[in-house]
Amino acid sequence: MWPVQLFVIITIALLAVYSVLMYYYNNWFRKLKPFMPGNSFAPTTSFSVIIPARNEEAIIAKCLESVLNNNYPKHLFEVIVVDDFSEDETPRIVTRMQQQHENLQLIQLKELLQTKLNSYKKKAIETAIAKATGDWIITTDADCTIKQNWLQLYAAFIQQTSPVFVAAPVMFLKKRSFVGIFQILDFLSLQGITAASVANGFLSMCNGANLAYKKEAFYAVEGFKNIDNLASGDDMFLMQKMQQLFPGKTGYLFSREAVVITEPMHNWKNFFNQRIRWASKASSYTDKRIFYVLLLVYLLNLFLLAMPFVGLFYKLALVIWLLLLLLKVLAEFPFMWAVASFYKVQNFLWWFPVMQPVHIFYTVVAGWLGKFGKYQWKGRTVQ
């Protein structure tokens, strides 16, 4: 019986530490103030918006229109689409749009690459940066849409705070299917942690769907050198390199008008492949604080997943498991409410307690396969 009781004690201890972490995230997030451009703001920053694309014919035109029609001087920004060996109409759609937009460029990787890579996205971004004319690089994804003042907000934030790297918020398009709602809630927590941690200098988290950095800073840290073998991490690993060379020069653009909207995965298979891809970089972080936080989260979910099976040997384990789930929800809910309020999706939160078992299961499975498995992404197998 003693090993079972020890298992329960360890689970409670993990939840206690996790609850303290959530307390800090909640406090940090609630201290964030929405960014407002100064009254004297006049745009002078030049941007190169880089969009890697692979088989995005269904949405690439909508994405490009939202960027190209931004409320920003046309001579101060260009859009570079890097086609990553698309097998559909993506490059032809971009070519047609070039006839109406002089500041739209298309680069096709198939004309430049002869060898297989593990990270085509990093190569796409790196190739586009070499041709970029803007002082600042902004990356987003081909399945994203942005708001009209997106570039204005970036420019104002850059000109007022003088950073070299800026992270900004991302949110999923609202889908009311079970898998859609699950992704919204899961992504809310990730985006909330990103905002809270970056703004407080605690962790290096960000999302490549809404990211900006100074071009000269990219070359100062030698771009993706030493991380180009990793399939994921064109955002967070680059941010870490920037923080190491330029301490105190990382910022977070906290504004609803800066939110980039992206498509959630349409089914569980694609969702798991996406999350396995994200989890695959966990052991490669140079900032060990990130590793320890991820390890804490993983171990807590692993123990919670195993506890119902412990109930086969210890009857009280099932009761304790339900109590711990309730405590986990209570520890997370104030933070989730604050983040959901920022994104105006509070109506989805009643699903939050219901989806706890699913979230625990996916965290453990995706984390394990991210380290030891392989996944499919954009029609490619990555290991």
Higher pLDDT among residues 339 and 123, named by residue: 339
Give Cα 228 to chain centroid, integer Å: 18
Phi-psi region of 377 (alpha: psi -120 to 50; beta: other; left: phi over 0): beta
Is it the case that residue 44 has pLDDT exceeding 60? yes
Residues of the chain with CATH 3.90.550.10: 37-264
The pLDDT of residue 274 is: 80
CA distance readout (Å), 329 to 34, 183, 326: 27, 17, 5
Paired tokens of 334? 């104030």
Query: Dihedral sign, CA of 115, 120, 126, 130?
Result: positive
What are 89-143's pLDDT values in tens digits?
999 999 999 999 999 999 999 888 777 665 788 889 999 999 999 999 999 999 9
> Tokens 């711990």 map to which residue?
324
Residues 37-264, CATH architecture? Alpha-Beta Complex (3.90)
Report which of 71, 75, 122 is spatially closest to residue 101, judged by C-alpha positions.
75
Single pTM value for the model: 0.90
**Overall average pLDDT of the 274-281 stretch:** 74
Q: What sign has the CA pseudo-torsion 123, 125, 127, 130?
A: negative
Residue 272: is its pLDDT beyond 60? yes
Cα–Cα distances in angstroms (integers) from residue 20 to residues 172, 293, 323, in the given order? 28, 12, 18
Mind listing the pLDDT tens digit for each residue in 51-104?
Answer: 999 999 999 999 999 999 999 999 999 999 999 989 999 999 999 999 999 999
- Give the confidence band of 1 by pLDDT, cuts at 50, 70, 90: low
